[in-house]
Chain A
Amino acid sequence: MSRDPASGDALLVLADATVFEGEAVGAYPAGGLVTGELVFNTVMSGYQEVITDPSYAGQIVAFTYPHIGNYGVAPADGESSRPHCRGIVVRDLVARRSNWRSVEDLGTYLARHGVPGITGVDTRRLTRHVREAGSMGAAFGPVPEAALLAAARAEPGTDGRDLVAGVTTTAPYRCGQGPFKVVAYDFGVKWSMLSHLASLATVDVVPASTPADEVLARQPDGVFLSNGPGDPAALGYAVDAISALLGKVAVFGICMGHQLLATALGASTFKLAFGHHGGNHPVRRLATGTVEITSHNHSYAVAEDSLGGTAISHVDLNDGVVEGIRAPGQRAFGVQYHPEAGPGPHDAWYLFEEFRALMAGTADVGGGGGRA
């Protein structure tokens, strides 16, 4: 029996026909519903950073922490100039913010940017369901259940789709004034990555499709491969460019950048059942044996058995997923997680320092078990 939500109410329907009740908040597109791949994120603070992270393009983000919006929105906390996720699912969208840094309520911000939300949802049930059933298409809005189910089922998902093209910069731009020269591939780069790089180098941020020779023409000390949305396997052009850069310049990749680097080194990627999206994942740094608490946002991962000669430098302690690789001969390294934080812990800031040392030639990337 299809439910028809009452005024103000909304439904969230997954592609497997699981239905959740809630209330509509934010701004809905014409047609009154939104679709996307549903993922959950377990951070307790940092919703603004998540919502503005370009890596969430194409996805609906469900927050496991119930109160979202407590401290409003602050201009300095954005990871890009606008929200990128398709919509948000929360247990309680907080109406009144309180924090000296904030300038706007989250609800107002979402409405201003045309982002829909659904509040009042049993997000724990949703999380448990996705944990068991895996990420899947979803749709929500103040429209009948049948329409939402059809939309959720029609949602193409992210496999094989190039979502980077929609978020990368259209033209190169420059930021930072550090002593080195870095070319940063923008696959959907987060501002906190750029701010770390900017303290090391003058950074030329270039579109995802920029060929290797154009990058080399800028005479960089290092090339940075950013995070980005979707399936790395759909970005053959980027892999080609990276392959052409390897060995010629220091390379540091994060998240999508790490996956593309691995692919260029001959490895393959696969999709995790429900991904890693949170700020509390323990990752072992194999070089020292110590554990760092890290920020994660990835639905895909590098297959360990495909790595060949590439060394593993970091491993997720929860599920053993490869979280970092090193190719010493190529002066390249990458991490799957987010050392720049934004949001999340600062435990892995040292990786930017390692990138600096690599560019300076004072250290190589080391192997998995060796000193970094």
Chain B
Amino acid sequence: MGVEGVPRRADISSIMVIGSGPIVIGQACEFDYSGTQACRVLAAEGYRVVLANSNPATIMTDPGLASATYVEPLDADVLAAIVERERPDAVLATLGGQTALNLAMSLVQRGVLERYGVELIGASAEAIGTAENRERFKMAMTGIGLSVPDSGFAHSLDEAMAVGDKVGFPLIIRPSFILGGAGTGIASDPNELRRLAAMGLATSPISEILVEHSIAGWKEYELEVMRDRADNCVVVCSIENLDPMGVHTGDSITVAPAQTLSDFEYQQMRDAAFACIRRIGVETGGSNIQFAIDPVDGRMVVIEMNPRVSRSSALASKATGFPIAKIAARLAVGYTLDEITNDITGQTPACFEPTIDYVVTKVPRWAFEKFPGMPEVLGTRMQSVGEAMAIGRTFPESLQKALRSLDHGRWGLNCDPGEAVFDALDDEELVRRAAVATPDRPYQLEAALRRGVSIERLAGVTRVDPWFLDQIGQVSAERTRLAAAAGGGANGRGPGALGRRDWRRAKRLGFSDAQLAWLLGGSEEDVGAARLGAGVRATFKAVDTCGAEFAASTPYHYSTYEDEDEVEPSGRPRVVILGSGPNRIGQGIEFDYCCVHASFALREAGYQTVMVNCNPETVSTDYDISDRLYLEPLTGEDVANICRAEEAASIGDGSVVGVIVGLGGQTPLKLAGRLPRHLVLGTSPDSIDLAEDRQRWSELCSRLGIPQPAGGTARNLAEALAVVEGIGYPALVRPSYVLGGRAMEIVYDDQGLARAMAELSTFGATARAGVAATMPTSAVPGSLGREGGLSAERPVLVDRFLEDAIEVDVDAVRDATGEVVIGGVMEHVEEAGVHSGDSACVLPPPTLASSIIEVIEAHTRAIAAALDVRGPLNIQYAVKADQVFVIEANPRASRTVPFVSKATGVPLAKVAARVMVGATLAQLRDEGLLRPPVTGGHVSVKEAVLPFNRFPDVDSLLGPEMRSTGEVMGIDTTFGLAFAKSQMAAGSRLPESGSVFMSLAGRDKTGGVAVARRFVELGFTIAATAGTAAVFEDSGVPVGTVVAKVGELSTGEDAAGASPAAPAGGGVDAVELIASGKVTLVVNTPRGHGPRADGAHIRAAASRYGVPCLTTLAAARAAAAGMADWTVHHLAVRPLQDFHRVDQLRLPL
């Protein structure tokens, strides 16, 4: 290999890379991982990289990673403008998910690429078209002799019904050109087919669906394949799903390598995969090909092929050490696989197939608790918001590690308080529940096997392969054996009864010390001590792509219980950085950004960095990012093992400087108490607790003279009523120790308070099956248990809710000398009451007076000093009537840190990381790392992206509970333009003409007049519900259409009622109006004293018909400003580097 000279293409010099935009269900940070790798590789090859991605929380949009970084909406018009401005030679779209692929196709179809002579590299339009269009794909596969399920295509409901008749039920409906199974479903009768076909046709951008005979229950596999221009093909990884066909692969527990295929079958699948990639014509890069196998006779069919890197390729890369995206980028510019060296061995070529000597398990994480009303049933439509991956030497070990990596209240398959929820069920009921695919299924299977339900029976009802069931059964059997050996529970002989063989066997099956303590009695610490006393300790093996055949040079580790440790000694100071675990609503890519930046900054400062994380999608779990990578669960025991191993590896001047817990969100933060005090870097655990503890925090604010909304704590309704008596309504009710506004509610009267308290009190007692909400915090030192769980030790917080207040977020960093640097003061567009994570926010603040900002900054400094913060700090304020109230403070990095950095050019996370290891801000200023923010010339808007299209039955109304999965940024010269861009980037492009339908809550009507007038000035007609229309017309704003006022009959509210009943008193029905396509924008502000369900069907209709829908007057006002500016300025694109106009941030390559 290593051809002398340069094999890369010299005929192109600049390449545009398209990212995947905001994190949404089905498309998460795996594309930041792949896109970041691509940008780094292409830049290293000497190409000028032009990047387009609207997501500010990504690493790939760091200005140092591309020559021109366009944080602009991922929209074909915008990309065309970027192409026009940058004139790249080539576009690489195969690393940005379905979004990038669809955009590239759109650019081809519009002739943009042809017009500017831009070549599509990676996969051609022809190849993309063949792979993505299900009809062409099916023909292509049958043409090369591969089987596909019986099916037919439909472009209308009638066609769909006809195909259904021909193919026979059950049927699966698959829209073409979609992502994450959006719009798919299984129909078992004509009625379901009609419903699903309508949804599918609406979801497909080309209104095409495949109506296919369902093979639900077959075994599901994926192969990750790479091909180069010399037609060399390799399989990087095989993946077998534990869940059979019928559960979306993104919602399935998946295992690498394939477990139940003989070599005979595996090689047939490999041949088929190569035939497929060659036929589709993906000339260079990675593809993912899905197969199903009938477990009865081995019949194999091809399900689909993605001609691009995917979530599975990120998983495969992390599972094997083979960096698919990085290599795909090299292949796209002309290298062949044999010309690229395998990074891990440093000596063998990348043209090989990794072999692994461990088992990798990925487990999805869902957020059903955020979307009440959604049945917790898994199907063909992906619903999970994140995933955790674990590596073990055996499947049971990796599965138990993966389950505890979820950070969702379970410690493994069993032996925790969560297992009790099945105790009351008889065997029949347990089996009946296990038969339905839900997030609880693995635990149900374990419980059933422990009771002696046969593998055959469970396999029959679940179609989970008996091999997996037998492996799970080993965990059950071991638990029973251990309990017998030790006597079990309080009367048992406890951990002391176990010998070395017992410990070794249990740990090799993946039991955590917490599980064993629960089973054997005693504390987790007792168990750990007894185990170590018996000579059984964690060992760390390496991921090396080759099953140890060659020496590995990349220290990528996982723990297991074997003889030998492979952690290399180090004579350098090392900093351990704890990542944020699986993506979830409220804790996502923003924290990975912070951890990655910390790693970059500390490496530049001479430290070795040790990353710990279990999220396979992330940049942080790329072995290239840190000096050492541990793919491990973020629990006290697992992190302690790593610290021990690293301390043991110190030689000479080497040492573990400490552990950074403050950059990965709540998950690592709550481990602070489990670590030796001297190892916790940054703000002390006591200060962290001070900010979290309601009583102490209130006292601190009073002492500092900083106003807080009045409030108190309550353990029951009587106490809550007593608090409200003092503070008045409306009140904000929320459990303590929660993330992402879990279960928060605003109540306006005693009735509402009673309902909220009732909901909260049942929250802890009758948690949904399979999830431990009842575990006392004390059972797991340092753990907060399942987020949102509450109990007597966790009272409910009741605060006065400040209506119509402006919410403000501040990110700051304080050093040991007491200096505080304010990173950014952000003003929220939505008023207080909408969770900050779901609200748009603006930097610099457009409406706050400078005197108010001064007060906010002063409060921030005072709080930072009082908490003795050493590192990052985020504080939320509410401003009402020129008075500044502090809502809460978090002495850790916040969700907004990356946005602030993209908006101002200040590398806040890097600064925070350096400060946490002792640097002063003055030093960092001298070094040039800390620069003054670039402000004044531009405005940045961050907008949240919500998953309501995934949950069609859930109301899209914003509230105090965070439900967004991702964010986008709009940046431009005025607030209006930046806001308009942010809406466009979030998928609801503001209209330029048409009709605005306004239905406003009583208190918004007056304020709405000016907004409506603005719309009219912009040439829009107004449609409004009667009450709103009356106010508008009284103020001289013409209303073109008066919409029936259904809701007023029952609620006195202007918004339509909960059911789309026939209009009272004539007029146009709201839903019909939206369905008619005449409305181009909906403004519906139902907040107020009415029930939350008001207007729900208006919003649902807007969502269904793809009409932008604003639910606050503030957003409507911002939209009007944006639409006004838009008419004057039109669309202009500009790279971040231009906005920053400063030296580019340096990143190590």
Contact = CB atoms under 8 A, between A and B. Distances in A.
B261 A45 contact: yes
B interface, over-half SS: loop
A27 B248 CA distance: 44
B927 interface: no
B762 interface: no
B349 A317 contact: yes
Contacts of A98: 260, 465-467, 470
A284 B467 CA distance: 38
Contact of B394 (A91, A96, A284, A344): A91
Interface size on A, as a range, is 35 or more
A293 B234 contact: yes
A347 to B, nearest CB: 8
B351 interface: yes
Nearest to B293: A100
A165 B265 CA distance: 33
Interface string A77-94: 100000000000001101
B473 to A, nearest CB: 8
A124 B394 contact: no
A66 interface: yes
Contact of B263 (A67, A77, A281): A77
A291 B562 contact: no
A176 interface: no
Contacts of B232: 290-291
A76 B394 contact: no
B879 to A, nearest CB: 59
Contacts of B260: 70-71, 98-99
Interface string A246-284: 000000000000000000000000000000001111101
Interface stretch (A125-133, A178-186, A205-213, A219-227): A125-133
B7 interface: no
Contacts of A100: 295-298
B800 interface: no
A94 B396 CA distance: 12
B549 A278 contact: yes
B467 A97 contact: yes
A321 interface: no
A350 B889 CA distance: 68
B263 A344 contact: yes
Nearest to A292: B232
A95 interface: yes
Contact of A281 (B257, B258, B352): B352
Interface string B247-275: 00000000001111111111100110000
A293 B349 CA distance: 12
B262 A101 contact: yes
A65 to B, nearest CB: 6
A276 to B, nearest CB: 9
A316 to B, nearest CB: 10
Contact of A284 (B258, B338, B501, B562): B338
Given A20-B563, A77-B262, A345-B267, A66 B394 contact: yes
A42 interface: yes
Contacts of B1: 317
Interface in A311-345: 317-318, 341-345
Contact of B562 (A99, A102, A125): A125
A196 interface: no
Given A45-B263, A122-B563, A123-B357, A131 B550 contact: yes
A97 B547 CA distance: 23
A64 B263 contact: no
A146 B258 CA distance: 40
B1020 interface: no
Nearest to A92: B394
A289 interface: yes
Contacts of A289: 230
B352 A318 contact: yes
A46 interface: yes
A70 B357 contact: no
A344 B259 CA distance: 16
A120 to B, nearest CB: 8
Interface string B350-373: 011111111100000000000000
A231 interface: no
Contacts of B270: 345-346
B541 interface: yes
B255 to A, nearest CB: 10
Contact of B348 (A317, A343, A345): A317
A6 B263 CA distance: 36
B393 interface: yes
A273 to B, nearest CB: 11
Contacts, number: 170
A40 B352 CA distance: 18
A344 B234 CA distance: 13
A43 interface: yes
A76 to B, nearest CB: 7
B466 A44 contact: no
A74 interface: yes
B114 interface: no
A122 B564 contact: yes
Contacts of B842: none
A280 B263 CA distance: 13
A49 interface: yes
A91 to B, nearest CB: 6
B885 interface: no
Interface in A156-197: none
Given A64-B355, A280-B354, A122 B466 contact: no
Contacts of B352: 280-282, 293, 317-318
A44 B394 contact: no
Nearest to B352: A282
Contacts of A95: 470
Nearest to B508: A120
A73 to B, nearest CB: 9
B395 interface: yes
A217 B230 CA distance: 45
Nearest to A280: B353
Contacts of A280: 352-355, 546
Contacts of A278: 355, 547, 549
B263 A317 contact: no
A104 B878 CA distance: 70
A343 B549 contact: no
Given A279-B355, A281-B352, A317-B351, A66 B547 contact: no
Of B230, B356, B455, B563, the most chain A CB neighbours within 10 A belong to B563
Contact of B357 (A97, A124, A317): A124
Of B262, B353, B467, the most chain A CB neighbours within 10 A belong to B262
Contacts of A281: 352
B337 interface: yes
Contacts of A317: 1, 338, 348-349, 351-352
B286 to A, nearest CB: 16
Contact of A99 (B257, B262, B547): B262
27 contacts: A42-B357, A44-B257, A45-B266, A65-B257, A66-B393, A67-B359, A67-B394, A67-B395, A71-B261, A71-B467, A77-B262, A77-B263, A77-B264, A94-B470, A96-B470, A124-B357, A124-B393, A125-B562, A127-B547, A131-B551, A278-B355, A279-B355, A282-B351, A290-B230, A291-B338, A317-B352, A318-B550
- Which 3 residue pairs of A and B lie closest in terms of their CB atoms, listed nearest first? A46-B263, A343-B263, A64-B547
Given A6-B501, A94-B467, A293-B353, 15 more contacts: A43-B263, A44-B355, A49-B263, A70-B467, A76-B264, A96-B470, A98-B465, A101-B264, A278-B355, A280-B353, A290-B232, A291-B230, A293-B234, A317-B349, A318-B348
Interface of A: 6, 20-21, 40, 42-46, 48-49, 64-67, 70-71, 74, 76-77, 91-92, 94-102, 122-125, 127-128, 131, 278-282, 284, 289-291, 293, 317-318, 341-346
Interface of B: 1, 230-232, 234, 238, 257-267, 270-271, 295-298, 337-338, 347-349, 351-359, 393-395, 455, 465-467, 470, 501, 541, 546-551, 562-564, 566
